[in-house]
Amino acid sequence: MRIHEDGGPEVLVLEEVPDPTPGPGEVLVRLHASALNHLDVWIRKGLPSVPKPRILGADGAGVRVDTGERVVINPGLEQPDGSIHVVGEHGDGTNAELIAVPETNVYPIPDELSFTEAAAFPLVFETAYRMLVPRAALREGEWVLLWGIGGGVATASLAIAQALGARTIVTSSSDDKLERARELGADVLVNHATGDVKDAVREATDGHGADVVVDSVGEATWRTSLDVAAREGRIVVCGATSGPNPPAALHRVWWKQLSILGSTMGTKADFEASLDLVVRRRARPVIDEVVPLEDIQAAHARLEAGEQLGKVVLSI
């Protein structure tokens, strides 16, 4: 499934292309499942722009062609300078039958883990794990505020926070998504469209505040994130879907001695740690729906509209 130009879901085109040929240090994987991420939507729309044509898709699971092993792909391609490239952004991705990737980015998975589940966790779990553990140093018993449950990173953060023994406050403008979050074990639910997030955090934490705030929204939520963070709290940021220039309110930062932490993707160690959580069933990805690769246009539209809770997975 390739794009030849930037645009809406209609620019995704199913077509035959030559099989990829593995280069030095690469292996060929026959994919059985591929999960969508907001990164796919942004690239499709031209933010960031990539060379065309391009096969999108960062997440994938399938069978290693040379050994027959069931495997999952780590989408983070670590570069010599320490930067991380992403499968599907810096090269062809997983929305296809075959992909060639570095052997170091391919990990065996047990038979108990389905291809669908394996494809659903890599990018968002790797991202969420890095935010919560190496960056925010989340500890057992701490309170975590997660804005916008339903998105991939927020939902993965909920699973990882619970696995680490933290207490969770989740927000959404959808009562249906909040009810699903309750079923997933969230401790406190608040509709940020009709309720008061500050009051909810204050009540839940007995006035202490959130030790960690996961904010990928930006301008629309930043002032509240500063207000609800506990003294010496940590606010970790991996995006800004509502805009990158929020009101700074710098006095809040020094009065409360807050730490503002940026985070993006993750390292090989972050991926391996999140894979361990999934394999040992301490944290499980949430599947919104599974659709055939041929229905990717409708799947992109659902993701772009924010209708999902968890991962939209393509079966191949």
CATH number at residue 138: 3.40.50.720
Each of the 316 residues of the chain gets a pLDDT tens digit; together they read 999 999 999 999 999 999 999 999 999 999 999 999 999 999 999 998 999 999 999 999 999 999 999 999 999 999 999 889 999 999 999 999 999 999 999 999 999 999 999 999 999 999 999 999 999 999 999 999 999 998 899 999 999 999 999 999 999 999 999 999 999 999 999 999 999 999 999 999 999 999 999 998 889 999 999 999 999 999 999 988 888 899 888 999 999 999 999 999 999 999 999 999 999 999 999 999 999 999 999 999 999 999 999 999 999 9
H-helix or E-strand spanning residue 111: none
What's the pTM value of the predicted model, to 2 decimals?
Answer: 0.95
Q: Is residue 45 part of a domain?
A: yes
Q: Is residue 270 part of a domain?
A: no
DSSP assigned state of 18: P
Residues 116 and 101 in one domain: yes
Question: What's the per-residue H, E or C state across 253-279?
Answer: HHHHCCEEEECCCCCHHHHHHHHHHHH
Q: Is residue 42 part of a domain?
A: yes
Residues 226 and 189 in one domain: yes
Question: Phi and psi dihedrals of 57, rounded to 5?
Answer: 110, 120
pLDDT at position 241 is: 82
Instruction: Please give the Cα distance from 215 to 209 (Å, whole number).
Output: 15
pLDDT at position 243 is: 87
Domains contained in the chain, number: 2
pLDDT at position 239 is: 86
Q: Is residue 269 part of a domain?
A: no
Residue with tokens 């406050």: 169
Burial group, residue 75, by CB count within 10 angstroms (0-12, 13-18, 19+):
buried
Q: Is residue 182 part of a domain?
A: yes
Residues 56 and 162 in one domain: no
> Which CATH number fits the domain that encloses residue 44?
3.90.180.10
Q: Is residue 30 part of a domain?
A: yes
Q: Is residue 280 part of a domain?
A: no
Q: Domain containing 254: what range? A: 125-262
Instruction: Please give the Cα distance from 101 to 125 (Å, whole number).
Output: 20
DSSP assigned state of 132: I
Residues 38 and 114 in one domain: yes
